[in-house]
Chain A
Amino acid sequence: MSSQASGADQAAAAAAAERRRQLVNRLSSILSRYGLLLAFVIMIIAFSLAKPDAFPTTDNLKSILTAAAPALIIAAGLTVPLVMQDFDLSFGSMIGLAGGAAVVLQSQDGWAWGIALLVALGLGLAVGVANGFLIAYLGGSSFIITLAMGTVLVGIEYAFTDQKTIFSGVAQGYVDIGQGEFLGLNNQIWIAAGIAIVLWVLLDQSELGRYMYAIGGNPEAARLSGVRIRRIRLTGFVIVALCAAIVGILLTSQAASSVPNTGVPYLLPAFAAVFLGSAVFRPGEFNIPGTVVGVLFLGVIQTGLTMLQLETFVINLVQGGILIVAVLVSQLGQRAT
């Protein structure tokens, strides 16, 4: 029979094991924390060397930021329900619905653009409440409900746009939102920055944000602690749907027109950015600063690869591959914590 270690020895061994584990954790969290930032920097240097005349310029920076702004708005919004382990797959269709509604109301019904804009935001609110009610109150799976909701929203959009591109009758005031500049930067950049800051404060600094992370970590513990789980989950769906409505407005205002189903191309990049972001700053946790880095990372890749004049299929392969790697890296971080 083996001898039984004394209590003191056991405690010392446990403490040593604990220290070792903490060291390993720290190393792997540093790796996953700075790995993405490192890759980001290397990429910028590589593109700058490959296209020294086109890539590292102020104009290019501005254009990357402008293109990234709507992506940032939707990715930041998506971060909120994801923190609570809720998926939203309907925001792509919500973008199209909001943009389409705002444009149709101006061009076909002759409404003032301000009212049309408010109606588009109202649609976002309504869809968010509907998603949240079906999922948080009636217990539907967020994955399936929002997927179905997306289909419904596309149907509604097609019903009043007739699947047509509309490029007449858009008010100048409306167009100025997406095309205008402030302090030399496109308005969209300022709007995106504002939304990102508000959502960062919400998730990182507010009570509500703490409750959201608690729901994501252990909904039952949160509920027994007196957190209003259903109401807060519903709030998450409202936030992402409102962000989608804002993106819909910005895209149609910038283009001064509405194209059917504009939002769907934003679906995958938004998820990719949020998951990439969960590998930085707070590994394994969705967080807004991480999402910002994720969006910029994808924006730089997109612009860089386009400048290298690669074929579309290569761009697809690279973007899809990066999402897969990002998810794995964030899982690594999760295991470490």
Chain B
Amino acid sequence: MTTRGTRTGQPPTPLVSVSGLVKRYPGVLALDHAHWSIGAGQVMGLVGKNGAGKSTLIKILAGATHPDEGEIRLGGERVEIHTPHQATEMGLAFVHQELADVPNLTVAENVELGLGYPKRFGVLLDRRRLRAKVRDVLERLGAEDINPKALVSTLSVADQRLVMIARGIAADARLLVLDEPSASLANEEIEKLHGVVRGLAETGVAVVYVTHRLDEIFQITDWVSIMRDGKLVLACPTDDLDKASLIAHITGAAEVASEARERAVLGAERGEELLRVEGITSPGVVEDVSFGVRAGELLGIAGLVGSGRTELVRLIVGADRRPEGRIFVRGAEVRIHSPRDSRRHGIVLLPEDRRSQGAVMDFSIRKNITLPVLARFRPARTVPMPQVRRERAMAGDMVSRLGIKTSDIENPVRFLSGGNQQKVVLAKWLESGADVFIFDEPTHGIDVEGKGEVYRLMEELALAGHAVIFISSEFTELAGTCSRVLVIREGRLVGELTGDEITDQALVERCYEDAAA
């Protein structure tokens, strides 16, 4: 793909280039011999679905993780980036989506943090010179309206991002990577941001612009790199693409349309409505969401990271602050204040982040699987002392049913691969007697084979008369399994697709922008 990357407009020696980058995580190939490069003064859009490999590439450049194979070149010379500090010294600067500033320090102190503050007598902080220096940097950015003396905590999110950019400039960055810099910014703030980016590019700084807002790609970038499945699939001048072809390349629709799995005929005979939510609202996160799910149905919820999909289901099961709105189970209104209430009403959530929410990593497989149903192993109703022998039998059963690969069910979950950990989290709930199963990104970090097993499991649950909600940002898998898909964007339901309407492309369009745009 590098051959295609060196078309018109690309300088002969790129500022930064990577080739043959491979990064494996347990059970997943995050980067698969990826090639990529950027020249000085370029504004490069970097796009791809979640899990396409963008963030792994950025982390490698930032020295936050190390590639298993492949090389990085800076100005044509091979370099190794072991630590974030080295990356900074090489002139690579990163502005992450989560603000990494220190809120209780001033703008000036943040900009120069770690770069060596100007000193008087060699020891005392010279605030005046510090402010002057930072004022210069801000002027260079065209952000002179930010007061260097202000506490960062008093700034808007947009200005805080500019402060982070200023930090990169103060460190003499040659490459600036902006990861979703426009997230949670208003339109005029985005325009200001774009102005800053353009100004920097004119002074020769290479800018990598990661975004899920495709319109922005056309507004601000002059070159675009598209990643998919850990590879760079296309790098070309932005003008060579239109939005439709951009989406097609992001999803790989051109190549994978034929791969779409035959959709299971589920929910055809509509069962009883097991769960219905009306007007679920948590200000600023989820706005007025209503939907229902029936017995035997496999309902998909499509949404990007940060769209509010995870927050929505956490609100439903009472994991967070109680939302506005009403919840009905089998037609009767219920009040759910905690995950415990939700379980009692037969609704269980299999959370997205299994390490921090799903599993007790130091517990054995057995103890994890039996945790939600521990009371079932009492020797007598009133004796709350679980019988390990019966626990073992049940856990052993689940392990073979789900094909969890382990030598011993007494092994800590920590030692399992990502996919097997996820299966343990699934196993926890299968026997819980629940009616409604909510799977939040259940295939995240699982290899292809494991994914197939998870789909089969969800289908089996639906066929057994349960209601299954399947949240994913991998739209091909929703298209392959679900009979109905809701699309959530910015906390609102923005679309509902059924049957043959559910295609990867249709979901991408609705997730990114209004279909009309």
Q: A-side interface residues toward B, CB under 8 Å?
A: 1-2, 18, 21-22, 201, 205-208, 210-211, 213-214, 217-218, 220-228, 284-285, 337
A220, B349: Cα distance in complex, Å = 12
Contact A18 B415 (CB under 8 A): yes
B371 and A225 contacting across the interface, CB-CB below 8 Å? yes
A208 to B428, CA, bound (A): 18
Are A214 and B363 in contact, with the CB atoms below 8 A? yes
Q: In the bound complex, what is the Cα–Cα distance between A21 and B386 (angstroms)?
A: 31
Q: List the B side residues contacting A213 at CB < 8 Å.
A: 360, 363, 367
- Bound-state CA distance A201–B367 (Å) is 17
5 closest A-B pairs by beta carbon, nearest first, are A217-B360, A207-B384, A225-B372, A226-B340, A218-B360
- Establish whether residues A337 and B412, one from each chain, have CB atoms under 8 Å apart when the complex forms: yes
CA distance A205 to B349 in the complex (A): 28
**B357 near A221: Cβ-Cβ < 8 Å:** yes
Bound Cα distance A201, B385 (Å): 9
Does B319 lie within 8 Å of A1, measured CB to CB?
no
Structural contact, A208 and B358, CB atoms closer than 8 A: no
Known contacts A210-B371, A337-B412, A217 near B339 by CB under 8 Å: no
Complex Cα distance, B408 from A18, in Å, reads: 13
Interface 0/1 of B237-269, CB less than 8 Å to A: 000000000000000000000000000000000
Q: In the complex, what residues of A have CB within 8 A of residue B33's CB?
A: 1
Q: Is the CB of A220 within 8 A of B356?
A: yes
For A208, the chain B residues whose CB sits under 8 A away are 384
Contacts A224-B339, A226-B343: A206 and B363 contacting too (C-beta < 8 A)?
A: no
Tell whether, in the assembled complex, residue A217 and residue B384 are in contact, meaning their CB atoms are under 8 Å apart.
no
Contact A206 B384 (CB under 8 A): yes
- Chain B residues proximal to chain A, CB less than 8 Å: 20, 33, 69, 317, 319, 338-340, 343, 349, 351, 356-363, 367, 371-372, 374-375, 378, 384-386, 412, 414-415, 428
When distances are taken between beta carbons in the complex, the residues of chain A under 8 Å from B356 are 218, 220-221
| A1 (CB) vs chain B CBs: closest residue | B20
Secondary structure type dominating chain B contacts: mixed
Which of chain B's residues have a CB closer than 8 A to the CB of A207?
374-375, 378, 384-386
* Cα–Cα distance between A214 and B412 once the two chains are bound (Å): 13
Which chain A positions have C-beta within 8 A of B20? 1
Are B385 and A337 closer than 8 Å at their CB atoms? no
> Which residues from A are CB-within-8-Å of B367?
210, 213-214
Q: Which of B339, B363, B385, B386 contacts A223 (CB 8 A)?
A: B339
B360 & A214 in contact (Cβ 8 Å cutoff)? yes
24 contacts between A and B (CB under 8 A): A1-B69, A21-B415, A205-B385, A206-B385, A207-B374, A207-B375, A208-B384, A210-B367, A210-B386, A213-B363, A213-B367, A214-B360, A217-B360, A217-B362, A218-B359, A221-B358, A222-B371, A224-B349, A224-B351, A224-B357, A224-B358, A225-B372, A226-B339, A227-B371
**C-alpha gap A220/B292 in the complex (Å):** 27
User: Residues of B contacting A226 with CB < 8 Å?
Assistant: 339-340, 343, 372
**Given A206-B384, A225-B372, A228-B340; A217-B363 close (CB under 8 Å):** yes
Whole-angstrom CA separation of A201 from B383 in the bound complex: 12
Chain B residue, CB-CB nearest to A208:
B384
Give the complex CA separation of A100 and B456 in angstroms. 66
For B387, the closest partner residue in chain A by CB is A205
- A22 — which chain B residues lie within 8 A by C-beta? 415
Instruction: Check if B385 sits within 8 Å of A225, measured CB to CB.
Output: no
CB distance from A147 to the nearest CB of B (A): 25
CA distance A60 to B362 in the complex (A): 41
**Chain B residues closer than 8 Å to A201, beta-carbon distance:** 385
CB of B360 within 8 A of CB of A222, answer yes
Determine the distance from Cα of A224 to Cα of B69 in the docked complex, in whole angstroms.
Answer: 39
Shortest CB-to-CB span from B31 to chain A, Å, is 13
Of B69, B358, B360, B367, the most chain A CB neighbours within 10 A belong to B360
Centre residue among A211, A214, A217, A337 by max chain B CB count within 10 A: A217
Bound complex: CA of A18 vs CA of B406, how far in Å? 11
What's the nearest-Cβ distance from chain A to residue B385, in Å?
5
**Cβ contacts under 8 Å, A218 to chain B:** 356-357, 359-361
| Residues in B neighbouring A220, C-beta threshold 8 A | 356-357
Nearest CB in chain A to that of B414: its residue: A337
Docked complex Cα distance between A207 and B387 (Å): 10
Complex Cα spacing A223 to B349, Å:
11
Which residues of chain A have C-beta atoms less than 8 A from B372's C-beta?
A: 225-226
Interfacial chain A residues near B358, Cβ < 8 Å: 221, 224
Taking each of A18, A221, A223, which has the highest tally of chain B beta carbons within 10 Å of its own beta carbon? Answer: A221
Q: In the complex, what residue of chain B is closest to A213 when comparing beta carbons?
A: B363
